Amino acid sequence: MQPIIDRFISYVTIDTESDSKSNTTPSTSKQWDLANKLVAELKTIGMQEVTIDDKAYIMATLPSNVDHEVPTIGFISHFDTSPDFSGANVKPQIITNYDGQDIVLNAEKNIVLSPSYFKDLLQYKGQTLITTDGTTLLGADDKAGITEIVTAMEYLINHPEIKHGKIRIGFTPDEEIGRGAHHFDVAKFGAEWAYTMDGSQIGELEYENFNAAGATITFKGKSVHPGYAKGKMINSMLIANDFINALPKGETPQETKGYEGFFHVHHLTGGIEETVLELIIRDHSKKKFEKRKELIEKITRKLNKKYAKQFGEDIVIAEIDDQYYNMKEKVVPVKHIVDIAAKAMNDVAIKPIIKPIRGGTDGCQLSYMGLPCPNIFAGGHNFHGKYEYVPVESMEKAVEVIVKIAELTSQPNYGLPVSKKKK
């Protein structure tokens, strides 16, 4: 347990927050700090073909130790953290033998991690938790995944009696801003399939995710002295409010679950002359996803028509960009790769929780780039905020799952779909 704790803390105390407003890759120069550390560490533990490119994408190889042909598989995680909450000066707290009661993260600010609100905490009673100090996120998304992959590779290197095929690992920047796979060289990676270690609670195994788009809506106004504004002023903030109110009620992140899609207003800035609204659009169903985008355009047209006589031009401008699509379409034809992960979990006494991701991973885009890539739990909870935590035992189990997948896929025919198995 202690080596996992030490490795994880060494990662999360390095600030790697990404920035969606940057046009560089990685989007922040500080991501290089952890990237370079990881390269050195991979070489130290004995990984081969360790590379880092000019955009900070890291790849490495654990060579096969079997003499028969088996598929090359991969494991992938990202090292950036979300810009939704500060990732600077992370001060992890270690709670041993968790007693099931409230955890005071920060007494001065009265920030408490309570099982009365976060009920998942109770399933980890008696375990060791790593939490924040209430002032930053933790970074288990996805430094827990990196910890698990590196630890599993080190374990396999130190235990050559465990048979495995060729394993490729990859660490990416900028996943949290939707760009993690944009410069990932699938051909160079050279795996038949991979797994992202980027899920949440222990047991999660996911091969369905949202179709995702981002929308930026700009509202134009006219500023006039309020004392003389009758029939002249157009307040762009109020038009933005009209737009938000026209979105379907009850279809927000906090009011949906499972396969239910949503609209999420996540930034709103402006004044009388101009207001900019940023929102994301999510749905597992491709048909419903397209209808959601159509609704944004319909609301835009309606508001422009309403103000056409007064303003003389369009005052609402909507820009919609697709971000990623449901990986299910690409994974179902090779469903045996999900079955392998499920068996690995069962073999190490974990009940697989197969459910759709209410979000996305690098694997969503990679699956459409030719690298089918289901998602496996990394163990953390409450990502992107001050209540984030991870049970160390969950990270240990994730390491066991990686090792077991390596073992299973080293068996003749095991890593092949039924149609390709040799008789």
Same domain (yes/no): 277, 349 = no
Sheet containing 211-220: order of strands: 262-270, 274-283, 211-220, 316-324
Q: Identify the active-site residue in 141, 174, 175, 198.
A: 175
Q: Which of 30, 23, 42 is nearest to 81 (CA)?
A: 30
Last residue of a domain, one of 264, 299, 324: 324
How is residue 89 annotated by DSSP?
S
DSSP-assigned states of every residue in 348-370? TT---EE---SS--HHHHHHHTT
Annotated active-site residue 80? The verdict is yes
Per-residue model confidence as pLDDT tens digits over 164-210:
999 999 999 999 998 999 999 999 999 999 999 999 999 999 999 99
**254: CATH:** 3.30.70.360
CB atoms within 10 A of CB 101: 11
When the pLDDT of each residue in the chain is averaged and rounded to a whole number, the result is 95
Gap between the Cα atoms of 213 and 193, Å rounded: 25
Same domain (yes/no): 333, 406 = yes
Gap between the Cα atoms of 145 and 164, Å rounded: 20
Has residue 420 got a pLDDT over 80? no
Q: Identify the active-site residue in 15, 17, 80, 174.
A: 80
pTM of the full structure: 0.88
**Residue numbers of the domain that contains 275:** 211-324
Last residue of a domain, one of 309, 324, 339: 324
Last residue of a domain, one of 324, 350, 374: 324
CB atoms within 10 A of CB 40: 9
Annotated active-site residue 54? The verdict is no
Same domain (yes/no): 137, 33 = yes
Count of domains for the chain: 2
Whether residue 399 contacts residue 4, with contact meaning beta carbons closer than 8 Å, is answered with yes
Same domain (yes/no): 254, 285 = yes
Per-residue model confidence as pLDDT tens digits over 202-235:
999 999 999 999 999 999 999 999 999 998 888 9
